[in-house]
Each structure stands twice: as C-alpha cells, then as structure tokens.
Amino acid sequence: MTTNTNNPTIILIAGHWLGAWAWDEVVEHLTAAGRRAIPMTLPGLDATDPERASRTLDDQAAAIEQVAASEEHPVVIVAHSGANAPVSLVLDHHPELVRRVVWVDSGPAAPGSVFAPDRADELPLPPFEALAEQASLDGLSTHDLERFRARAVPEPGPVLRQPVELSNDARLQVPTTLVCCSIPSAQVRELADAGHPMFAEVANLQHLDLVDLPTGHWPMWSRPQDLAQVLAAAATSRVG
C-alpha cells in the first residue's frame, strides 16, 4: 500500500513492557478508516529475542528510524508512555523523517533525563496494586489486565539506565499533538508553564495541539476506537 502526504503512515509505539500487539484494536479501526498503521515491537521487548535484556535505548531509536526512513514520505509517530525516550531520540536525530509526533498520555523527554539511573537489572511489570499508584488503570477490564500480565515483557536495564541525550533544537519544530488521558490538558499546560520536570519540554514546543481523551493510562485498550479517531485526525492536521 502506498501512501501520500495526505495519508501518512502512522507508526505506533507502546510504552514499557508492551509490543506491537498492544495496538491490535487501534490498528483495526485505523485500517478500516483507510489509514496505514505500523505497530512496532521495540528491541528489548521481543520475548523470543535471546539478547533481549541487553538491548539499549539507542537500539530502540535506531529501529524506529529504520522504519520511518523506509517510508516514501515523512511519517506520524505515536508514542505512548515510556516510548517517549526512544522517540525523543528519533526526533533529535532525524526530525526530517517525522511529519507529526503524537504523545499518548506522555510527552517529550527532557534532555539528560533517565528513567531509572540506578537500575542494575531489567524491570518486570509490577503488581497492579503498585502500578496503579503510578498510572491510572481506569477503563481496563479484567480481560485487559489478564492479557497485560500474560504478554508483558520486562523492560531491559540498559534502556532504563541510559540518559536521553538531546542537542538538536529542530526537534522542537516538529508538529506535536498531546493526547491527554489520565491528566487533562488544562493541567498539562499548568504543569508545563510551572516547569514540572515531566512536562518541561512541552513549553518549548513550537507547534502544539492538545486533545483530551479522558480515560486511564492505556487508552489503546480502554477507548481504542476513540483513540484511533484522534490519531487519524492528528495525522492529517495542518500546522497553523
């Protein structure tokens, strides 16, 4: 299937512990709407990879860059949660490959940020009671949680320990959409304006749209059709 500038390829990247499978329902809706979507399993999150635990953040960014560069036109990259680290590197290395970046209940990583600098080993999916203290599980069914537990892959230690080194201000010029789920857009703006570390980079973005999609931290499961509609609209939205 060929694409054009009016129907760009959408690359879908889920956060920690997740692979391409996390987007199955969203891809169905995007495909039905005539959109080309490529869900990715990043290096380190393929359970069949014998070298999985040694994969790095650079490996993940390189894999995304390879897929983006293989497309005829600039792509739309959708980054959920912890996928913000490798995608921020991609924007820093090759902003010309990206037509728009969509952060799903996430945002661009700040220069020098690191998820877990003292983490010596990989990070498995924690108990849901602990996870719920860090991210909203609103909207997830028992089936969703069971599938999450069954298919989750531990996040590699090297990915967690590597700082996100950014130096190219052109990344801030890439048109950006923030899909605000567990934190409403008004609060995101307040946090960005206040210089909160999680949202400090948002205040520096030159072309920013915010979209509210109220639900928990995993909208690809709790509101897949609605999320697909938001992504399809963002993919073809114009700057200005």
Pairing of strands 75-80, 98-104: parallel
For residue 2, the model assigns a pLDDT of 47
For residue 4, the model assigns a pLDDT of 65
The model's pTM is 0.96
Backbone angles phi, psi at 136, to 5 degrees: -70, 130
pLDDT mean for each 10 residues of the chain (240 residues) = 74 98 98 97 97 97 98 97 98 98 97 92 97 97 98 97 97 98 96 88 95 98 98 86
> 146-176 burial, b for 16+ CB within 10 Å, e for fewer?
ebbeeebbbbbbbbbbbebebeeeebbebbb
- Separation of alpha carbons 196 and 126, rounded Å: 25
Contact 78, 10 (CB under 8 A): yes
